[in-house]
Amino acid sequence: MNEPRPSFDPSPTRPALRLPHGACDAHCHIFGPQVRFPFDPRAPFRPADAPKETLFALHALLGIERCVIVQSTCHGFDNRVVADAIAAKGGSYLGVALAPVTVTLDELRRLDVQGFRGLRFNFMKHLGTVAPIKPIIALTPLLVELDWHLQVHCDSSMIAELTPWLLRSAVPVVIDHMGRVDASLGLAQEPFRALLRLLDHSHIWVKVSGVDRLSRQGAPYADAVPFARTLVERFGDRSLWGTDWPHPNTPSPPDDGVLTDVLSQIAPSPAQRQALLVDNAQRLYRF
């Protein structure tokens, strides 16, 4: 059986944009190495290794000093791969965990000590089954105990359906990748309007990551940039950005240097980039 090819560009360019001191990649992943951190036998996908050392080198190239690593479904509920990377960075990297809705407060406290700051739930068909939204929201009072947040990855068609539930969350809610809207459908499309309405509520946050996933034109993602820029303009105090490295389940890996340079269009002013990359991440994740 052939080994899977890496989902990331092995030779990203150095970005022209200089990021502010303390800039945070608020959304990326680590895969393996599988000899030490094997994949979950039920994993919906099995990527090539993308270990912490490669991520650390990328961040050095891009000028990123802080990071939030999101546990991947390929590793399931075994969060050791992320905990290992967090421990290697002495407080400048934190994590978002995966766990069942039956998780106990004691287990959450154990993860908190390791540097985790939230729980993520996926509502994407290609990532397998997920718990119903009702017990997920019922879990959020436990997250209050730790000052954690809830992170949601959903298809754009589900934003309106999930909204009444997300408004009941006892903790902040972070929406991944701008709700995965289709950039070709324009800013007036109903899923994006639903996302804007959701964000009118002060406990909802959004990640303006994934312009490469939204775009139907490819780099430099001119069709997707207006979505991210609109979110930063309207909700600049609750927007976050991340590389989404190593770009799982993408047919053609983006150049992370190019993705970083797109920030000059997403957040054109230094003040916007300071909020997006530094201040907001500090406030939500508590570095």
Can you read off the two tokens belonging to residue 258?
A: 């190019």
212 classed as catalytic: no
The label of the residue with tokens 């927007």 reads 239
Sign of the Cα torsion 217, 218, 222, 225 reads positive
Name the phi and psi angles at 122, rounded to 5.
-100, 140
The Cα 143–Cα 105 span in angstroms is: 8
Neighbours of 182 (CB within 10 A): 19
- Report the C-alpha gap between 215 and 61 in whole angstroms: 25
- Candidates 9, 25, 244, 256; catalytic one: 244
Residue 170 Rama label (left phi>0; alpha psi -120 to 50; beta): alpha
Closest-CA residue to 15 (of 240, 219, 238): 219
Burial class (CB in 10 A: 0-12, 13-18, 19+), 188: exposed
Neighbours of 60 (CB within 10 A): 10
Rg (CA), the chain: 17
Q: What tokens appear for 249 in the block?
A: 């389940």
For 32-80, give the DSSP string. Answer: --TTTSPPPTT-S--PPPB-HHHHHHHHHHHT--EEEEEPPGGGTT-TH
Active centre residues (catalytic): 244
